[in-house]
Amino acid sequence: MDHVDIIPMQLSHLDGVLNLGYRAYDVDAMPYTSWSLSTVAVHWDAQPEACWVAVDDEGLLGFVLGSLSYDEREDWGYLEWIALDERARGKGVASVLVQRCCDALFAAGASRIITDVESSNQASAAMMRRNGFAEGVTVTLFVRPDPDKSAPAATHPPRDPARARLRRAARATSTR
Ligand SMILES: CC(C)(COP(=O)(O)OP(=O)(O)OC[C@H]1O[C@@H](n2cnc3c(N)ncnc32)[C@H](O)[C@@H]1OP(=O)(O)O)[C@@H](O)C(=O)NCCC(=O)NCCS
């Protein structure tokens, strides 16, 4: 990995961010099912100063997308999406992205910043703790499947063919 720059997200990063998200998240499972082009665009449109990317000479290494507000609270920031390409993990890049996003959200008026971490995502939990986040309320999704349908759980909703195509394309794409 070459020298890494952490820079504000631009329109030209949209495609790379979307594809990196498709590679990093299991968008068939909670809490990643809402990952989409509109999710990225809405964040960048609403709070561009809280959206940052990490790049090196080879291309996009990671991103963070934040926003005001969380759960109707105008004074709560939401650090909702962060992901790094495999080659950038474990090197402190995530912490710099978190810091830039949090700085922007505090500057925009947030009195606190919320992030949610899926319970088995130990890498994300450890990284968030190291960056000043502490566990608040724990919410567990209880799932009741329709007994008349064979699909086992809402954590794996029916596949959207368009998204499946995008995900396959993203996996086949190297970083830009
Ligand atoms: C979450 C993510 C951005 C963190 O970036 P990172 O570079 O891996 O973070 P760091 O290496 O700085 O910190 C990860 C910590 O978890 C540890 N860790 C990594 N993988 C782990 C695993 N499978 N189990 C337990 N701990 C793990 C690391 O050793 C490190 O611990 P430390 O703080 O004691 O050094 C990155 O892992 C990622 O992109 N994951 C996929 C997308 C994702 O899950 N995003 C978060 C939800 S939106």
- Region 151-162: mean pLDDT is 60
Residue 164 corresponds to which amino acid?
A
What residues have CB less than 8 Å from 130, skipping those under 6 apart? 95
Q: Which atom of ligand 1 is nearest to the CA of 118?
A: 47
5-172 maps to CATH 3.40.630.30: yes
Give the pLDDT of residue 103.
98
What's the whole-number average pLDDT of the chain? 90
What Cα–Cα distance (Å) separates residue 156 from each residue in 57, 137, 159, 172?
A: 37, 24, 8, 23
- Region 12-26: mean pLDDT is 97
Residue of 175 and 58 predicted with greater confidence:
58
Summarize pLDDT for 56-84 with one digit per residue, the tens.
999 999 999 999 988 888 899 999 999 99
Residue of 6 and 152 predicted with greater confidence:
6
Give the pLDDT of residue 71.
82
Check pLDDT > 50 for residue 176.
Answer: no
Q: Which of 40, 89, 91 to mutate to test the pocket of ligand 1 (most atoms within 8 A of CB)?
A: 89
Q: How far is the CA of 94 from the centre of ligand 1 (A)?
A: 8
| Ligand 1 cavity residues, CB under 6 Å | 24, 81-84, 89-90, 92-95, 121-124, 126-127, 130
Residues above pLDDT 70, as percent of the chain: 85
Give the pLDDT of residue 69.
82
Q: By alpha-carbon position, which residue is closest to atom 38 of ligand 1?
A: 83
Check pLDDT > 70 for residue 168.
Answer: no
- Region 95-104: mean pLDDT is 98
**Residue 163 phi, psi (nearest 5):** -65, -40
- Region 100-112: mean pLDDT is 97
- Region 91-110: mean pLDDT is 98
